[in-house]
Amino acid sequence: MQNQTTIKVWSERWRLGALTRRELVQIALVSVVIGLLFMLFHMLGNTVESVDSRSAFQWMFARWNDTISFGADYSHGYFIPFVSLGVIWYKRKEIFSIETKVDWRGLVMVIGALFMHWLGAKMQQTRISLMSLILLIWGIPFYLFGWQLAKKLIFPCSYLIFCIPLNFLDVVAFPLRMFSTEVTTGMLNGIGIEAHRSGTAIFTLAMPGGFDVADPCSGLRSLLAMTALTAVYAYVTQQTLLKKWILFMTSIPLAVIGNIARIVTIAVMAEAFGGKLALGLYHDYSGYILFTAAISMMILIGGLLNLNYREVLSRWKSVLLSRT
């Protein structure tokens, strides 16, 4: 006979298992909580007086769409939630195999996150409220299903931080511009192209009007995109926490080096084919080429981190000994 505590809600034809009454109640409770959270952050999520909407989500979407007023480009924010869901799907077998139980420590996290949202509203800091939302998304499963499940959700929930427009990154744009122009000017003079810098503009014989390294060319856009991409790639491919962090940290120099290489090649193209082509067609599409190169370097570094060097050395020794 079928167990009375089990209710079959889907056909076995689709290979979907039956749910117990307890699981149905938990799903219903989580659905209600999600709805309440949406209402809270949509209707009482933003208290900035200069913004018309009270929704924290609309404030965030407006910042994602704004690629002119700020040095950073947060348009990648639309993809971040889907990547987080993809990571959960990738780890679904491990997640469903976990024995769940209520953990009261999670309730402490939930209360702390709600206090954090209240504090962000009082301070008119929508970013703090959005941070509290991420903490709630992690803390509620922690409370309902226990620490073992919460551990599996640390990365996909933390990854949502890339959705939040962080204002301190806008301040980094100008130092990045200065650093890029100084290094580029030195490299151009080093390879025989006479160049001099004035502020964030680079002047060469082929570009007498100068090439200004503006905010979009500061490298901050590629830095944000590269760190977001490397984070998920390191999480999926690397075997230890240390290797994941090493690969993630390499994304910063890779993005900066890639941006400097782009500016240098623009100057070289101007010398070879004229400033019109370099500052026009090549300038518009060179970012894709160098970003592809940065991704290739990321994959190469990830592969090197995963190599078993003892095994590689033993193979080399065996090959050398066989030849002698």
Question: Are 179 and 235 contained in the same domain?
Answer: yes
* Residue where one domain finishes, among candidates 149, 165, 181: 165
Is residue 320 in a domain? no
Is residue 318 in a domain? no
Residue 143 in tokens: 């409370």
Is residue 182 in a domain? yes
CA distances to 174, 211, 266, 279 from 270, rounded to whole Å, are: 24, 10, 6, 8
Mark out the alpha helices in 2-152 (DSSP H runs). Answer: 21-43, 56-65, 80-90, 92-96, 104-122, 126-145, 147-152
Phi, psi of 194 (to 5 degrees): -65, 125
Query: What is the pLDDT averaged over residues 246-259?
Result: 89
Contact 100, 30 (CB under 8 A): no
CA distances to 47, 85, 140, 160 from 153, rounded to whole Å, are: 29, 10, 11, 11
Question: Are 129 and 272 contained in the same domain?
Answer: no
* Residue where one domain finishes, among candidates 165, 188, 213: 165
The C-alpha atoms of residue 59 and residue 46 are separated, in whole angstroms, by 7
Spatial CA neighbour of 184 closest among 131, 234, 258: 258
pLDDT band at 271 (very low <50, low <70, confident <90, very high): confident
Spatial CA neighbour of 180 closest among 197, 167, 163: 197
* Structural domain span for residue 79: 6-165
Is residue 46 in a domain? yes
* Residue where one domain finishes, among candidates 144, 165, 186: 165
Question: Are 179 and 205 contained in the same domain?
Answer: yes
pLDDT digits (tens, 9 = 90+) for 38-49: 888 888 778 776
Question: Are 183 and 236 contained in the same domain?
Answer: yes
Share of the chain above pLDDT 70, in %: 87
pLDDT band at 167 (very low <50, low <70, confident <90, very high): low
Least confident span in 7-21, 57-71, 136-150: 7-21
Candidate ranges 25-29, 52-56, 66-70, 78-82; pick with highest mean pLDDT: 78-82
Question: Are 223 and 305 contained in the same domain?
Answer: yes
Instruction: With a cut of 90, say whether residue 246 has pLDDT above it.
Output: yes
Half-sphere CA count of 112, side-chain side, radius 13 A: 14
The C-alpha atoms of residue 12 and residue 291 are separated, in whole angstroms, by 46
Query: What is the pLDDT averaged over residues 275-304?
Result: 84
Contact 44, 59 (CB under 8 A): no
3-state SS, residue 324:
coil
Query: What is the pLDDT averaged over residues 165-169?
Result: 72
pLDDT digits (tens, 9 = 90+) for 128-139: 989 999 999 999
Domains held by the chain: number:
2
pLDDT digits (tens, 9 = 90+) for 18-60: 666 777 777 787 788 888 888 888 887 787 766 677 888 888 8
Query: What is the pLDDT averaged over residues 108-123?
Result: 90
Residue 171 in tokens: 């301040």
pLDDT digits (tens, 9 = 90+) for 295-311: 889 999 998 888 877 77
Mean pLDDT of the chain: 81
Largest CA distance in the chain: 88
Query: What is the pLDDT averaged over residues 144-156?
Result: 91
The C-alpha atoms of residue 82 and residue 102 are separated, in whole angstroms, by 27
